[in-house]
Amino acid sequence: MLSLPSSLLLPNSRRSFLQGLGGGFGMLAWNAMQRLALPNEQKSLRRVGDIDPLCPLAQRIPHFAPKAKSVIFLFLVGGPSQIDTFDHKPLLKELADKPVPKPVREAVQSTRFANVFHGCEDKILQSPYSFQQYGQNGTWVSELMPHFSKHVDDVCFIHSMQADSNNHAPASYQLHTGDVRAGKASLGSWVTYGLGSENENLPGYVVLFDAGPLGGAGNYSNGFLPPAFQSTRFRDRGEPVPNLTPHPSFVDGQRQSLDLIAALNHEHQSRLPGFLELDARIASYELAYRMQSAALDVGRLEEEPQHVHSLYGLDHHDKRTQSFARKCLLARRLVERGVRFVQLYDMPDKDGWDAHAKLTENHTPRARWTDQPVAALIADLKQTGMLDSTLVIWASEFGRTPMVQGDRGRQHNAAGFTIWLAGGGIKPGLHIGATDEIGLMATERPVQFRDLHATILTALGISYEELSYSVNGRDERLTGVEGSASPLKDIFS
């Protein structure tokens, strides 16, 4: 065989390797193995986005001092109604069954949100839920969230969120990736690409769900970023990741098998120098080996004491509450072990909070399934001191209209809705922005998803303008074109 002199085969660009093979692993696999085995503090840390191809998930030094180390993103799929949860509008009662007030209508119609009227009647549906004030600031919360309402002083509400699309998948893609189209990199991928993870034996970016978000895997995809930063789905029952345990007759010899695989692979690689995909695959076997025990360990929810089970609702009479409780608890255990980003979907079935008709039949049970676990997560993180370094986000792709749709339902509303953030250096007890008098459109300090993304990255110590990745000669950013996003700087304590 004619072969190229190996001196010719040195890479001239690390970035192109990363892009090409998608794994991001270095030249010499033996070195890789040795370095992967080192504890983090003994490795010389790189900066954001400067990926060590040998250990792409290795921790990196942020651009500036971070407030948060990790993120738990609670994604309430389908668009929960802001005016039935956190955006109390007493006027809706007076306006019940009446048309939208003319000034509100005209204000909305002159904006890009004019289509929010599409598909619903010009008739106000008052909230079927009662509201009460909680906490030191007298925060209004509806009766849907009895557990959460005890923690309102721990969270910062943004009442003026806006999305660019009034449809699920595009708006959902935008909240995840910054773009209404599928195919871009998701927030979790960007964060692990930027910072790596604190525990290289677990994936840096984990997603938890039963049936998954609307719009599918495009929501939690690594897009154009190397697959090292892709998400891994964990289950909250049984083996957290499939194929974690070796076959009984292979289990004793697994280490020997892996060593032999590595030896044969190095022999093979010596005949094909320079092909980084070979290093990547060699490294993936070592990671798989370590992941076996690490993933099994994190999935042992039964290790938690009974009071924690009860706090989250693992023993709740409603199975769907149990299921969401298990995910919230698993999220805490993942973050505790250094996982950088956990994306948790509230999707026990195929509908989500998409209450086009019969609002109460949709929202009441969904609130019951999530309220206690979410409240428990905040309480648990706070009590264990992890809330300071964990940014918790509660959000959906949009909210719902005050106008009625069909039989007591509400249409999608991207013009103004509420999300909240907690922990990770966020000032608690804040209320940012506001909607108009009927809760339809953000009128005070509208916030876009790119601003939210910039805020999240800032909390993590990442400069959102500097975090970029070159795709076809163009620098892609989570926050879009340079200068278009602005983080909510005043919400950091």
Partner 1 sequence: MRTKSLWICIVFFAILAPLGCCYSKIAWAQSESHEEQELIGNALSDPKNPIRILFEGERLGLWSLRPIAKPPIPLVKNTAWVWNPIDSFLLADWEEENAVPAPDVDPRAWLRRAANSLVGLPLSYELSSEFAAAPSMERFAIEVDRWLASPEYGEHWARMWLDAIRYSDSNGFDWDEFRPKAWLFRDYVIRAWNQNLPYDQFLIEQLAGDELLPGEPTTEREQQMLIATGYLRLGPYDNAAKLFNEQDRARVEVLSDLTETTASAMLGLTMACCRCHDHKTDPLSHADHYRFRAFFAACSFADDKPLELAHDQIAIQEHNAKVNAEIDAINARLRERINELVALLHVEPDPTTTEKPKKNKSNERTRLQAAMQEEQKTELSKFEAQIKSLKAQIRKPSVGLLMTDSKESIDKIAVLFQGDHRDPRDMVEPGFPSVLYPNTPTIEKPISETTTGRRLTLARWMVSRENPWTARVIVNRLWQMHFGTGIVDTPNDFGWTGSLPANPGLLDYLATELVESGWSIKHIQRLIVTSHAFQQQSLPTGSKLSDSTGRVYRSCRVGLKRLKAEELRDAVLLVSGQLQHRAGGPPVWPKLSDDILQANPAVLDDNETKTKGWYPSAPSLQTARSIYLIQKRTLRLPWLETFDLPENTVSCPKRDTSIVAPQALALLNGEMNVSASQALANKFKATHVTLAAQIEGLFQAVLARNPSAEERSLSETFLVNRDLAELTNVLLNSNEFAFIN
Residues in region 143-162 near partner 1 by CB under 8 A: none
Residue 42, CA distances (Å) to 59, 254, 391, 448 in order = 11, 28, 27, 40
Pick one of 139, 177, 197, 230: the residue that binds partner 1 (CB under 8 A).
230
What is the DSSP code string of 127-159?
A: -SS-EEEETTTTEEEETT-TTGGGGGGGEEEEE
- Hey, which residues between 315 and 334 contact partner 1 (CB under 8 A)? none
Residue 23 lies near partner 1 (rule: CB under 8 A):
yes
d(CA 246, CA 26): 28
| Least distance in angstroms from the C-beta of 137 to partner 1 | 40
Residue 280 lies near partner 1 (rule: CB under 8 A):
yes
d(CA 384, CA 403): 43
| Least distance in angstroms from the C-beta of 20 to partner 1 | 3
Report residue 105: phi and psi, to 5°: -60, -45
Residue 104 lies near partner 1 (rule: CB under 8 A):
no
Instruction: Let me know: does 394 contact 419? Beta carbons within 8 Å.
Output: yes
With CB under 8 A as the contact rule, which of the stretches 74-82, 94-102, 222-230, 442-450 interacts with partner 1? Answer: 222-230
With CB under 8 A as the contact rule, which of the stretches 5-13, 64-72, 313-321, 418-426 interacts with partner 1? Answer: 5-13
d(CA 423, CA 408): 36
d(CA 33, CA 287): 10
Residue 247 lies near partner 1 (rule: CB under 8 A):
yes
| Least distance in angstroms from the C-beta of 166 to partner 1 | 11
- Hey, which residues between 291 and 310 contact partner 1 (CB under 8 A)? 291-292
Helix axes 276-298, 14-21, angle to 10 degrees: 70
- 392, β-bridge pairs: 72, 422
Pick one of 50, 96, 103, 250: the residue that binds partner 1 (CB under 8 A).
250
| Least distance in angstroms from the C-beta of 420 to partner 1 | 28
Please tell me whether residue 30 adopts helix, strand or coil conformation. helix
Residue 19 lies near partner 1 (rule: CB under 8 A):
yes
Please tell me whether residue 257 adopts helix, strand or coil conformation. helix
Pick one of 135, 274, 429, 480: the residue that binds partner 1 (CB under 8 A).
274
Tell me which DSSP letter residue 211 carries: S
d(CA 397, CA 485): 18
Residues 6+ apart with CB under 8 A from 307: none
Pick one of 278, 298, 335, 414: the residue that binds partner 1 (CB under 8 A).
278
With CB under 8 A as the contact rule, which of the stretches 269-277, 334-342, 386-394, 431-439 interacts with partner 1? Answer: 269-277
| Least distance in angstroms from the C-beta of 18 to partner 1 | 9
Q: Which is nearer to partner 1, 473 or 483 (CB)?
A: 473
Instruction: Let me know: does 408 contact 360? Beta carbons within 8 Å.
Output: yes
Residue 349 lies near partner 1 (rule: CB under 8 A):
yes
Number of residues that bind partner 1 (CB under 8 A): 72
With CB under 8 A as the contact rule, which of the stretches 64-72, 273-281, 307-315, 367-375 interacts with partner 1? Answer: 273-281
Residue 21 lies near partner 1 (rule: CB under 8 A):
yes
Report residue 223: phi and psi, to 5°: 55, -125
d(CA 240, CA 234): 5
| Least distance in angstroms from the C-beta of 64 to partner 1 | 31
Site string for partner 1, 350-379 (x = CB under 8 A): x-----------------------------
Q: Which is nearer to partner 1, 109 or 133 (CB)?
A: 109
Residue 431, CA distances (Å) to 127, 132, 151, 257, 379 in order = 21, 16, 14, 57, 20
Tell me which DSSP letter residue 442 carries: E
Q: What number of CA atoms fall less than 13 Å from residue 117's CA on the CB side?
A: 15
Residue 65 lies near partner 1 (rule: CB under 8 A):
no
- Hey, which residues between 196 and 215 contact partner 1 (CB under 8 A)? 203, 210-211
Pick one of 256, 302, 306, 483: the residue that binds partner 1 (CB under 8 A).
256
Pick one of 37, 38, 96, 263: the residue that binds partner 1 (CB under 8 A).
263
